[in-house]
Chains A and B, each alone.
Chain A
Amino acid sequence: MSALADTFSNFVVRQSGARSARVIQFSKLSGGAIQDNFGLTLELDGGDRPGRQEFVVRQDAPSGVAESLSRPEEFRVLQAAFGAGVTAPEPLWLCEDAEISGRIFYVMSRASGTASPRQLVKGDLTEDQRRHLVRRLGAELARLHTVRPPMDSLAFLELPAGNNPALSRVALYRRYLEEIGEPHPVLEWALNWLEDHAPEPGPTALCHCDFRTGNYMVDGDELTAVLDWEFAAWSDPCEDLGWLCCRSWRFGGDDREVGGVGDKNDLLASYREVSGADIDPAAVSYWEVMALVRWAMIALQQARRHMSGEQHSLELALTGRMVAQMEYDLLNQIPELEEGQ
């Protein structure tokens, strides 16, 4: 570990123009099956960022997932989001030379606080603090969604087929089900419903696509960083809003629609204030249904990784058994939406 710390420290010295650096702290951070994250605290002598600096180094883990972005792509997405004013870790330096640490990596600033859903959802935030946080989430998404195609630096992101993110998702998930080769009538039924009820697509924008409680850091009641950008894509802004509100991501705070934290009205009001865009709540509800299907797809794929022997894991195996929960939510939520129409 200390050799790796020196490698990263030397890289930061070169990039920042510092005279030297002293490693104060270096450790592997939890989370992330797709990539390894390291916390690196340095005392830098001179250069662009003199003094004590806290960084996160993010590099590919030995087992990658094909669906997610590479580190260089993720770095460019982070640059675009940060440039649009999103509270994300500041992307500092990308190292595409795999000779240096053995893998491609990048360095970003480290945010304070915790991303733990339990602490946030079950924590002792007041109603005002919850509302404040939910409004921040709306504002962050509104800023992110100002990033629109085409963008040269994001040319690796494909545009949704037919310029219709919802229908292209439906087609993609049907392909996934074919590949998985296991019958899932509830998911087929839900995909038919999603095909038949697709709203008019909104503007295509840069979407985080995993924007949920657990993937943003909070210090007190302040949001300090939106994390985990590896699934970013051009999509309908309502996909991010729907994913954030999906029942699967409320961590026991079921009556608080926005990630178990607060109310959807506050989220959409703040989104409107920052973006000027009036979001149709029905479109968000539609994308919440899509989110349940997407999470079911991810869970099925994770279970396959275990069952195929590619990666034996109790956690992946148990995730496979969660699919019935998403199916149950679909069977309840779709009729609720129909009744509300």
Chain B
Amino acid sequence: MINEPDSRDLLTEARQVLLDSLVPDLAGEQKYQALMIANAMGMAIREIEQRAQGEPEATDRSLSQFLAGHRLPDAPSQGEQTLARALRDRRLDGDDPELRSVLKGMTEARLRINNPGFLK
């Protein structure tokens, strides 16, 4: 089914109206709330964009490869659970560059949605 403009487009336009037309007339608590709404909409927009670019599957694949390489059980959508458990149980070496790289990959993928400006 074609239903256009799509949700990304709608959210982007709605956010722009909020920022350009409404926020300038607001002050104090109301301005703060409007900026929070714009922030939440920005995250939703970026989440849609990231999905179009193959996330979270790409990050999940890296995690699956890491788990397989360390003989840890993997099941769909359970990778993070497995990794967290293995770390809690001290079954992984915290200094392992490969582990750190997987952790960083997952965190960067989240930040590309939640707050890309935070990435250095």
Residue numbers of A with Cβ under 8 A of B are: 174, 177, 183-186, 188-189, 192-193, 196, 314-315, 317-318, 321-322, 324-325, 327-328, 331-332, 335
Contact = CB atoms under 8 A, between A and B. Distances in A.
A327 B100 CA distance: 12
Nearest to A331: B104
Contacts of B59: none
A185 B107 CA distance: 10
Contacts, number: 69
Top 3 nearest A-B pairs by Cβ distance? A183-B84, A324-B110, A188-B87
Given A192-B94, A317-B40, A328 B88 contact: no
A328 B40 contact: no
B119 interface: yes
Contacts of B70: none
Interface in B1-47: 33, 36-37, 39-40, 43
A331 B36 contact: no
Interface residues of B, number: 29
Q: Which of B39, B81, B108, B114 has the most CB of A within 10 A?
A: B114
Contacts of A183: 80-81, 83-85
Q: Is the interface of B mostly helix, strand, loop or mixed?
A: helix
Given A314-B40, A328-B107, A185 B87 contact: yes
Interface in B87-120: 87-88, 90, 94, 99-100, 103-104, 106-108, 110-111, 114-115, 118-120
Given A183-B80, A183-B83, A188 B100 contact: no
B114 A325 contact: yes
A296 to B, nearest CB: 11
A14 to B, nearest CB: 35
A189 B80 contact: no
A297 B118 CA distance: 19
A189 B111 contact: no
B81 A192 contact: no
Given A186-B103, A318-B39, 14 more contacts: A177-B84, A183-B84, A183-B85, A185-B83, A185-B87, A185-B106, A188-B87, A189-B87, A192-B94, A314-B37, A321-B115, A325-B111, A327-B110, A331-B103
B115 A189 contact: no
8 contacts: A183-B81, A184-B80, A188-B88, A315-B36, A318-B39, A325-B114, A328-B104, A331-B100
A189 B110 contact: no
Contact of A325 (B37, B80, B115): B115
B87 A327 contact: no
Contact of B43 (A174, A321, A332): A321
Nearest to B101: A331
Contacts of B80: 183-185
